[in-house]
Amino acid sequence: MTFIHLSMATSGITFFRENIGKLEDENDEHMPIGFEVAFPSLLEIARGINIDVPYDSPVLKDIYAKKELKLTRFVCWAKNIHLNILFLYEYISKYI
């Protein structure tokens, strides 16, 4: 089990809350490849360890929608294209 000092955790959550809105103004082309797939996974890990983040935030809902769209596209292409391991794991993790 990993222990995080309370003040560090509070500082991180405060930073997240203060800056999550900046994602709304961010150009998708400037995001790291796979951000819309990887970031929601990190949020699910946070939820699993009871970290309170604004899951109902419009920007997070938009990121989740982009994730589903991207994964849906990859599922359609999966028969013909070798998927990036990250995307493949993200899709099958729902079923394992």
Domain limits of the chain?
6-92
pTM for this one? 0.62
pLDDT digits (tens, 9 = 90+) for 23-73: 888 777 777 788 888 888 888 888 888 888 777 888 888 888 888 888 776
pLDDT at 84 over 70: no
pLDDT at 88 over 80: no
89: enclosing H helix or E strand: helix 85-92
pLDDT digits (tens, 9 = 90+) for 46-56: 888 888 877 78
Fold of 6-92: Glycosyltransferase (1.50.10)
Burial of 52 (0-12, 13-18, 19+ CB in 10 A): exposed
Which pLDDT score, from 0 to 100, does residue 57 have? 84
